[in-house]
Amino acid sequence: MPLHTIASIVRTERYGWQASRRVHRVLSIWRPPHHAGSARRSILARPAAGDLRTAVLWVLAVVPQAFGFWLVAGDVAGVQPGQTRTFVLAAMLTLGLATLAQVVVGYRLTLYEGPAAAYLAAVVVVAAGGHGLAAIGAGLLVGGATVALLGVLRFDRLLLRVFTPLTGMVFVLVVTVAVLPTTVARALATSHVHPWGTTAGWVAALAVVAVGVGLQRPRVTRPYALLVALLVGAAAAIAVGGVPHADLSGGLALPSALPWGAPQFSVQVIVPFVIAAGLIAFNTVAAVEVGSAMQEVEKARLASARGLVVHGAVQAVGALAGNVLGTVARLDSVPIVQLLGNRRRTALAIAALLVMALALVQPFLGLVAALPLTVSAALLALMFCSMIVQTLQRLWPLGAHARMVAAVALAPSIAWTPLQHLLSPTAKLLGNPMLWGVAAGLVLERVLERRTGRAPATALAERA
């Protein structure tokens, strides 16, 4: 392709950047390397021999780290010890159902739906106001309905007018940098008593990193890197901290409708969840763009809009079953796909079905709940670091202007870690660094484009 054609595609035009086949060719400049073969084939077809194996590895990579979010959300929302299994069952069902629905009829990408930090922030605000589980369930219904409405109104079309390849890279950096400090703190088990973490946390984290990084190099061991790192990290944590108690009692259990009672709506509940819904919608659209680009899969028609509508429907079902922490498309799906070496949606769909089935098995819930949270947090931190390194490797050749945009966008996320403890729950929700960081980057990108007459991403096209 001639360089002037590439530059004209990357440049933001009067009617905005369009997610078309030509744009995806430009996006391939910063995509990670991929294996030849089935990358361009249909990725939701008859299950292949390796799909079941990959599905099991998906479950082992996703469920343990999600438990950390669920337990924190349950504690904040006021879930009592005797209600934990009811809440976790509903949360696992929501995760599996949301992933399956998005893979099959939603945005149709190999992205799993995991716990959403924006919904967690809304839960913190509502709980701080003295509201209980019934009110939080009502808030999740409101949040899901708001996201679905944004999908019907084509909020994605508005966002895509300003979304460029550089915006995608900046979004990845902002999201990962914003959540990395908290993830590392959980991995090391830091607290007021142990500000630098515990010995068990450090040993488990180092074991996870050493095994995870080491097994990524040989191609034959790469798909099993996450599983082996999880097992070795858990063994290290148990060797240092002792064997945790696991409640393996019970058999099969079915979810019950409205276990917390009838939803309790109020202005104090609706407003925080509407704000969270806006953040979720933005995150979903951006994740669809980034995921389709980095996995080298062309988006289906109306992918983002369908994803928003499906999100709203699934959150309503989850709230009725007792879930209080909604889901969102997770960017850590990208490194998981790279490690597993299978980007077929079939494998992730099977994994979603397995998650939904395992949610009904009470001993499984007790076993996963007993896994040291430091291990799953260390595994998640490792994947975030991998995404940061890969994105920086592709952003750096864009030139000084692109680096300036990234630096400005990252400033809120970097400042967030030391300042967030000084803010009220409402200020934390409104001051979300992911939203304001990406917004600042978008504004600066437009300013630089007008001053120089070209988009910052054009520099990369000229080097290609």
Query: What is the average per-residue pLDDT within 86-90?
Result: 90
> Can you give the pLDDT at residue 1?
43
Average pLDDT of the segment spanning 340-357: 93
Q: Please compute the mean of the pLDDT values over residues 162-174 and round it to a whole number.
A: 83
Q: Is the pLDDT of residue 39 over 70?
A: no
Average pLDDT over residues 254-268: 90
Separation between Cα atoms, residue 323 and residue 307, nearest integer Å: 20
The number of folded domains in the chain is: 1
- In this prediction, residues 340-348 reach a mean pLDDT of 90
Residue 7 — very low, low, confident or very high, per pLDDT cuts 50/70/90?
very low
Report if residue 95 sits inside a domain: yes
pLDDT at residue 32, rounded to an integer: 42
181 in a structural domain:
yes
Q: What average pLDDT does range 315-340 have in this prediction?
A: 90
CA distance 416 to 196: 19
Q: Which of 20-29, 63-72, 284-293 has the lowest mean pLDDT?
A: 20-29
Confidence class for position 203, pLDDT limits 50, 70, 90: very high
pLDDT at 71: 78
Q: How many other CB atoms are found less than 10 A from the CB of residue 211?
A: 23
Distance, CA of 277 to CA of 122 (rounded, Å)? 9
Measured between alpha carbons, how far is residue 438 from residues 10, 31, 114, 199, 216 in Å?
19, 20, 21, 37, 31
For residues 16-45, average pLDDT: 41
Residue 46 has a pLDDT of 59
Residue 112 has pLDDT above 90, yes or no: yes
Question: Which pLDDT value is given to residue 49?
Answer: 61
Instruction: Find the mean pLDDT for residues 9-27.
Output: 38
Look at residue 149 in the predicted model and tell me its pLDDT: 95
**Range 187-200 average pLDDT:** 88
pLDDT for res 457: 54
The pLDDT score that the predictor gives to residue 179 is: 80
What is residue 249's predicted lDDT score, i.e. its pLDDT? 80
Instruction: Name beta bridge partners: 329.
Output: 113
Query: What is the value of pTM for the model shown?
Result: 0.77
In-domain check, residue 115: yes
Evaluate whether residue 180 is within a structural domain: yes
Residue 18 has pLDDT above 70, yes or no: no
What are the tens digits of pLDDT across the range 438-456? Answer: 888 888 888 888 887 765 5
pLDDT digits (tens, 9 = 90+) for 399-453: 888 899 899 989 888 887 777 777 777 777 777 777 788 888 888 888 888 887 7
Is it the case that residue 163 has pLDDT exceeding 60?
yes
Q: Which long-range contacts (CB under 8 A, 24 or more apart) does 415-420 make?
A: 416/178, 417/181, 417/182
Instruction: Spell out the residues 6+ positions from residue 385 whose beta carbon is closer than 8 angstroms to its own.
Output: 180
Grade residue 313 by pLDDT with cuts at 50, 70 and 90.
Answer: very high
Cβ atoms within 10 Å of 4's Cβ, excluding its own? 10
The answer to whether position 284 is within a domain reads yes
Region 238-244: mean pLDDT is 85
pLDDT given at position 44: 52
CB environment 394-432: b (16+ within 10 A), e (fewer): bbeebbebbeebbebbbbbbeebeeeeeeeebbebbebb
pLDDT-derived band at 47, boundaries 50, 70, 90: low
Summarize the confidence of residues 207-213 as an average pLDDT. Answer: 92
Higher pLDDT, 41 or 354: 354
| Mean pLDDT score of the chain | 82
CB neighbour burial string for 95-132, b if at least 16 within 10 angstroms, e if fewer? bbbbbbbbbeebbbbbbbbbbbbbbbbbbbbbbeeebe
pLDDT band of 320, cuts 50, 70, 90: very high
% of the chain beyond a pLDDT of 70: 87
Looking at residue 14, its pLDDT comes to 36
Please state, in angstroms and rounded to a whole number, the distance separating the CA atoms of residues 107 and 112: 11
The whole-number average pLDDT for the span 112-135 is 88
Give the mean model confidence (pLDDT) for residues 97-118.
93
The 3-state DSSP class for residue 64 equals: helix
Helices (H), 129-254: 133-152, 155-160, 165-188, 199-216, 225-241
What domain range is 203 assigned to?
Answer: 34-391
pLDDT for res 414: 85
- Tell me if 433 is assigned to some domain: no
In a domain, 5, yes or no: no
Residue 35 or 399, more confident: 399
43-52, 231-240, 274-283, 356-365: range with lowest mean pLDDT:
43-52
In a domain, 139, yes or no: yes
